[in-house]
Amino acid sequence: MSNRNYLRQLALGFFLIFTALNLSASVFPSKPIKIIVPFSPGGGSDVITRLLAEKMAGDLGVSVLVENKPGASSIIGTDVMAKSAPDGYTILMTNRAITVNPWLFKLPYDTAKLTPVMQLVGSPLLLVSSTKAPFKNLNELITYAKAYPGKVSIGNSGVGQLPHLAAVLFEKSSGVELTMVNYKGSGSSTTDLIGGQIDLSFGTVPSFMQQIKNKTLIPLGVSSTTRNPALPSVPSISEVLPGYDLISWFGFFAPPSTPKPIVDKLYQSISRALASPDLKARLNDEGLDVTALDPEKFKKVFAADLIFWQKFIKDNNIKIE
C-alpha cells in the first residue's frame, strides 16, 4: 500500500469514528440510563441520587433507574460501572472515598482512568456522640479523652472510609487517643451509637439528620472550616482545633473512554436538575452545598484528591488488616 493510500484510509477511519461518536451523542439517550450507587439504600449518596434521577428522567425523556450495589468499600459497584460500555447508559454516583481506595486495595479497575462527569455537592462530615457519653461538646470530649486515653470509642463504616480518616485526622489534630471500632457499613455503627455501645461516630450530615431531630444523637461539630447552614448552632471542629478541615463530595463518573459529547449531555442534564429550586432547597436542608463542577474542573479535583490521599494514607500508616 502506498503512503498516500495509507494516509487516505487512516483519515477515513478517523472520520468514521468521529461521525459515529457524534451520531451516538446526537441520539443519546434512546433507552433507560442506570445509575449505580455503590452503597446500601438510605445513605447520603442514595438519597441524592434518587432526588436527581426523577429530575433527569423528565429532562432526558427516558427512565433513569437507580441500582444499589454495595459491598467491599464501594468497589463492587464501581467495578460494574468501570467495566460497562462507555456509552453513557451506565454511570456511577459515589463519594470522595473513590480516591482513597486505590491506596488501600488491589482494585480490578484503574481509578485514574474513570471519566469524571460532574461533582454535584460538597458536604462536611458531622461528628456525633451517644446521649450516654460522658461529654456533650467538643471541649468536654477532648478533655475527657486526654484524661482517659483509649477509653473513648469511635465507630466507622470501615477502615479507609472517610469517617475513619476523619477520626484519624481528629486524633492527630487534638492529640487524643481514640479506640477505633470498625463496622461493615454505617447502619450497624449508628445502631450501636444510639444504644451507647460506642461513644462517637463521623458521618455525613444527611445520614444523621433524623437522629439529631429525634434527639437520639448529639451533634458535636462539623468537619468544614465554617458552620453548616442546616445546623447553624453546631460549631465547626476548626473552632476548637484550628486547621481541621475535611470535606466529602459526591459526584458522577462514567466508564473509561466515554466520548466527550455524551459526558457533556449527562453534565448538562444533571446541571438542569440541580438548578431546580425545590431540589436545591432539599439539598441545602440536608446540609449539602451545591458545587456543580463541570467535567474539566471535576477532573482536576479528582486528580488532586488521588495525590492527597496517597500521601495521607502513607504518612499515617493506614492499612486494611
Please tell me the predicted confidence (pLDDT) of residue 24.
55
Burial class (CB in 10 A: 0-12, 13-18, 19+), 54: middle
Asked whether the bond before 29 is cis by omega within 30 degrees of 0, the reply is yes
Measured CA to CA, the distance from residue 285 to residue 229 in angstroms comes to 8
Find out whether 141 and 104 touch, Cβ atoms under 8 Å.
no
Give the C-alpha separation, 164 to 308, whole Å. Answer: 16
Per-residue pLDDT tens over the stretch 73-103: 899 999 999 999 999 999 999 999 999 999 9
User: What per-residue confidence (pLDDT) applies to 156?
Assistant: 86
C-alpha cell at 207: 445520614
For residue 189, the model assigns a pLDDT of: 85
CA distances from 94 to 32, 40, 107, 129 (A): 20, 12, 16, 26
As a whole number of angstroms, the distance between CA 175 and CA 142 comes to 9
DSSP of 214-227: TTSEEEEEESSSS-
Cα–Cα distance measured from residue 162 to residue 97, given in angstroms and rounded to the nearest whole number? 6
The CA-based dihedral angle spanning residues 310, 93, 205, 320, taken in that order and rounded to the nearest 10 degrees? -40
* Regions in the chain scoring below 70 on pLDDT: 1-26, 43-44, 185-186, 321
Give the per-residue pLDDT at 278: 87
The answer to whether 65 touches 97, Cβ cutoff 8 Å, is: no
Per-residue pLDDT of 222-281, as tens digits, reads: 999 999 988 999 999 999 999 999 999 999 999 999 999 999 999 999 999 999 888 888
- The CA distance from 245 to 124, in Å, is 9
All structural domains of the chain:
24-119+250-315 (3.40.190.150), 124-239 (3.40.190.10)
Question: How far apart are the C-alpha atoms of 139 and 155, rounded to whole Å?
Answer: 20
Degrees, nearest 5: CA angle 119-313-217: 65
